[in-house]
Structure 1
Amino acid sequence: MTPSSATFRTRIKICGLTREQDVDAAVDAGADAVGFVLYAKSPRAVTVERAAELARRLPPFVVPVLLFVNEAPDRVQAGLVAVPGSMAQFHGDETPELCGQSTAEGGHRWLRAARIPLGAAGAGFDLLNYAASYSQASAILLDAHVDGYGGAGKVFDWSLLPTAVDAHLVLSGGLAPANVGDGIALLRPRCRSLSVDVSSGVETAKGIKDGDKIREFVAAVRAADALLAR
């Protein structure tokens, strides 16, 4: 039986939002989730209060994701409480135990970022073991290992990833309208389900999104899904 197009629906997260108009643009374009960076050293950082304010613009079924880097569990929990319906994204050196401890109260879902080395060094990253270690995560987010914990627009070598991963994966790191279709075509058959996460690829400046680029990115994802469905 030929799979329906719904089988290949790639979920989309637009990350690093700082402005109302960018939240609205992401929602209007059809994003499934939006990300707010709660890491003070990031050029895209917002406060918990600002994230909560922006998240109030979201309609039902669009998920706010709060990005943390090596944050104390009580501060993670406070952020999740302040932004109802949110889930956590751990992007630093957090252990599985710390991720679980930080989200246990309230049963919040969480993502764990895997920072893949650039170039041939990426072959040395054991994604299968990493995914098994963080088996309680809702998904493993694949990002390039760069200074500043992401958002640098760098693409790691996707072809070095395992051909079968028993996890939900979120492809990130240097995605843009021009290359996201290639990433989906390569990785979708390798995992339980695939989502994509974009930040710099839809910006005019760090933290400033471009509505046209967001729409182009979403359209490119849907075109890739349609090709897989055929």
Structure 2
Amino acid sequence: MSIGAKICGITTPEALDAAINGGADYVGFVFFSKSPRHIGIARAKELADRARGRVKTVALTVDASDDVLQEIVDEVAPDALQLHGSEPPARVADIKRKFKRTVIKAVPVATAADVEKAAAYAGAADLILFDAKASPDADLPGGNGRVFDWGALDGVSEKLAFMLSGGLDSDNVVEAIARTRPIAVDVSSGVEMAPGVKDPDRIRRFLQAAKTGKQT
């Protein structure tokens, strides 16, 4: 099975090109002011235009209002919206209906009980992304470089197609794929040289490992 791969938190043309040239299926732009990967609308539009027709673009938001989402859709025209906040199923379904975009809903995971919450989003979101649950004092809901217990996902792939995130990098992504059997993997901090600063070589190595199943 071919594994999809997403490089999230893209902020520069160099990182974007590294992701595309490395075979990424998706690139993500973060619209959340507390994140070191936060990007403005104008910059995101430039990068999205550069990516158009080469890779699918994803706009990541956290409990964003309709007005914010409308501006992102109008100006950046992403292929998908990734909801990384506390949006309930009804809100997710409403966003999908209003904005007519593929919707990815992030579900934070620490235990198997957290994974069970994903069932509530069936039919509302197009794809579930399982990410490590942030610590209570964390500023960011994701992108913290934390790995959760993959055992929490035992048997889930037989019932649900999902994307996996949470502390992935070129050293552990092959094991993560074999252990959890996602349809796609998502990385942000694991391909950075500093918070918010993507490393083209780490992007290349992550994608090579994810796509070939061989650690680089």
Kindly report the root-mean-square deviation, in angstroms, between the aligned alpha carbons of the 2 structures: 1.7
Number of the residue aligned with 2:29: 36
Q: Deviations over 1:93-134 (max 9, x none)?
A: 0012212222323411110001012xxxx1332x24423434
> 1:81 Cα deviation (Å)?
2.3
Deviations along 1:110-167, one digit per CA (max 9) or x if unpaired, are 10001012xxxx1332x24423434331211011111211111000000122413432
- My pick for the range that moved more, 92-101 or 15-24, is 92-101
- Give the deviation of 1:59 after TM superposition: 4.2
User: Structure 1 24/33 Cα, relative in aligned 2: closer, same or farther at 3 Å?
Assistant: same
3-state SS, counterpart of residue 142 of structure 1: strand
Q: CA offset at residue 177 of structure 1?
A: 0.3
Q: Match for residue 123 of structure 2? A: 135
Q: CA deviation at 1:61?
A: 4.9
Where has structure 1 moved over 6 Å in runs of 4 or more? none
The farther-off stretch of 156-165 and 136-145 is: 156-165
CA distance in 2 between counterparts of 1:167 and 1:77 reads: 29
Residues 1:113 and 2:109 aligned together: no
Letter of the 1:201 partner, please give it. Answer: G
Report the counterpart of residue 26 of structure 1 in structure 2: 19
Alpha-carbon displacement from aligned partner over 1:58-106 (angstroms, at most 9, x marks no partner): 1415111000101112311221222224210000100122122223234
Structure 2 unaligned blocks of 5 or more: none
Distance 2:178 2:120 in 1: 24
Identity over aligned pairs, percent: 39
Residue type at the aligned position of 2:185: V
Larger Rg: 1
Q: Which moved more, 1:146-155 or 1:55-64?
A: 55-64
Give the distance between the partners of 1:116 and 1:129, measured in 2 at CA. 9
Matches within 5 A, 1:58-137: 58-117=51-110, 122-125=111-114, 127-137=115-125
Equivalent pairs counted in the alignment come to 209
* TM-score, normalised via structure 1 length: 0.85
Could you tell me which runs of 5 or more consecutive residues in structure 1 were left unpaired when the two chains were aligned. Answer: 1-7, 226-230
> What is residue 160 of structure 1 aligned with on the other side?
152
Q: Distance in 2 between matches of 1:61 and 1:128?
A: 35
Q: Does 1:53 align with 2:46?
A: yes
